[in-house]
Structure 1
Amino acid sequence: MSATPHRSRPGAFGPDSFQLLLLRRMADFQPGLAEAARLRLGATLAEQREANRRWQAMGRSPGSRGALARYRSVLGPPESAGPRRIGDLECEALLWPVPLWPELRFEVLAGPDGAVWNEWLVRAPGARGPALETDADLLPWSATVDEVARAFAPVRPMEGTAPTRWRLAFTASGRALVAEFTYGLLQRVQPAGEAGS
């Protein structure tokens, strides 16, 4: 049974505030898309800045309960949670709906001690992903890290330029490219020579 995303109470940091946080990071690459999404949420730039400030403060608070507890308190009960094996390691995969992107879920992978190993957007179970055949199909916000990695294998993971960013190097249509992601969602694709080291 799937959980219904709960709306943020006025003044509370909830799902709407969390989506503003995601958009603030994505605006570095796609300011137009991020602004349009912010307006769909009915939020001002000041509210978005405040959401970012509060999220940072929650993480630095002396009484902070850890990243996983923070996600649970902000997003509510996960839509689903279950064991996941990554190589020889066991972890728990928790998924939350993200109303701005109904076909995606926010996934948190947590170790046995509750430490968060990874946090990003993934395709919702059962949702159909994009058809990725050439680099022309790689539109902003159209695909996740896993989808691009599968479609254009082999890929080479590269260090992101910030903690919430990932990069993949690959070849498509005979060109060396680098795809950049924020919170696991594709933001842009550039020729490898223009994407930096």
Structure 2
Amino acid sequence: MRPATDPLPGGTAAFGPLDFQLVLLRRMADHQPGLVEDALRELGVPRAAMREANRRWQAMLHAPRRRGAGPRYRSVLGPPETLAERRVGDLTFEAMTWPVPLWPDLRFEVLTAPGGVVWNEWLVRAPGAHSPVPRTVEELLPWSCTVDEVARAFPPARPMEGTAPTRWRLAFTAPDATGRRGEYVAEFTWGLFQRLVP
């Protein structure tokens, strides 16, 4: 169900949760086009709808009188499912989460610093949902793990700069199915594992 949101200029239909899922998929299509095609079929929308949702999202991000990220997510996704304070070092953040129907075991989390500046926005495991614990690199399947889960499975994982604002990378050493250890880089989009690079 779409929450009531303000239409975009020109009377365009409101941008809602389905559109936002398409935005997430648009970035993931760079690494996992097959999984994205399956997701589009599950959602019952054509590929063109994904491109259009991404175009509209970018227009919202770059509009001259754009909203802050917190109000933008609330207008698109509705009231957050959870709202809590989280401390990271000496800083206190507001953590908001929303369900994402495509991934029922995940939540979209937005961390905002004092003043409303977004510090992080990505997919995380839902409270109480089963969290995978991969033991070898073969068990790292696309869309199976979040950044935190891979970091916990293969410590000490080292964060690396992503290739785009919605991408993260972790470098780590891990065994393969034969027990041989190697150096790898895991690539994530919106916090969800996409691919492994030796």
Mark yes or no: TM-score above 0.5. Answer: yes
Letter in 2 for 1:156: R
Structure 1 residue aligned with 2:132: 130
Alignment equivalent of 2:2, drawn from 4, 7, 13: 7
Alignment equivalent of 2:46, drawn from 21, 44, 54: 44
Which aligned runs of 4 or more in structure 1 are off by greater than 4 angstroms?
none
Q: Is the 8 A contact 1:8 1:16 kept in 2?
A: no
Kindly provide the CA deviation profile for residues 1-41 of structure 1, in whole angstroms up to 9, marking residues without a partner as x: xxxxx336793210000000000000000000011101111
Structure 2 residue aligned with 1:187: 194
5+ residue gaps, structure 2: 5-11, 176-180
TM-score, length-scaled by structure 1: 0.91
Q: Is the 8 A contact 1:93 1:107 kept in 2?
A: yes
Distance, in Å, in 1 between the alignment partners of 2:40 and 2:114 is 35
SS in 1 for 2:194: strand
Structure 1 vs Structure 2 CA RMSD: 1.3
Distance, in Å, in 2 between the alignment partners of 1:82 and 1:8 is 22
Structure 2 residue aligned with 1:141: 143
Structure 1 residue aligned with 2:7: none
Distance, in Å, in 2 between the alignment partners of 1:41 and 1:12 is 18
TM-score, length-scaled by structure 2: 0.91
The alignment status of 1:177 with 2:172, answered yes or no, reads: no
SS in 1 for 2:34: helix
Q: Is the 8 A contact 1:108 1:118 kept in 2?
A: yes
5+ residue gaps, structure 1: 1-5, 192-197
The alpha-carbon deviation at position 131 of structure 1 amounts to: 2.5
Distance, in Å, in 1 between the alignment partners of 2:188 and 2:133 is 18
SS in 1 for 2:83: strand
Distance, in Å, in 1 between the alignment partners of 2:17 and 2:61 is 16
The alpha-carbon deviation at position 151 of structure 1 amounts to: 0.7
The alpha-carbon deviation at position 190 of structure 1 amounts to: 1.6
Q: Is the 8 A contact 1:8 1:17 kept in 2?
A: no
Distance, in Å, in 2 between the alignment partners of 1:184 and 1:131 is 16
SS in 1 for 2:64: coil
Distance, in Å, in 2 between the alignment partners of 1:127 and 1:47 is 30
Percent of aligned pairs with the same amino acid: 68
Distance, in Å, in 2 between the alignment partners of 1:49 and 1:8 is 21
